[in-house]
Amino acid sequence: MIICKHCLISGRVQGVVFRATTARRALELSVTGYAKNLPDGRVEVLACGEPAAVDALCEWLRRGPPTARVSDVVIRDVECIDVPGVFAIS
């Protein structure tokens, strides 16, 4: 079974290699999707894959890399439509 979760991460999450380390962690977990910076300073992540792997990535997002300071993570389940085949950074 494949699930998808949409995540919005707030705090000091831009300019601290958050997207690159998220992509690396997603690759380790075989999770597809994307991570992108938003104009308001948050990072948006779409995570798709096996439930345990997606949950593990979402848990990691609550900490992020050592250089980040995550203050909030909003996660919601989304329908798996047009699931990307890789984890992209934009």
Taken in order of first residue, the domains within the chain and their CATH numbers are 3-89 (3.30.70.100)
Q: Which residues are catalytic?
A: 19, 37
- Interval 33-75: pLDDT, tens: 999 999 999 999 999 999 999 999 999 999 999 999 999 999 9
Read off the pTM.
0.94
Q: Hunting for tokens 């300073």 — which residue is that?
A: 41
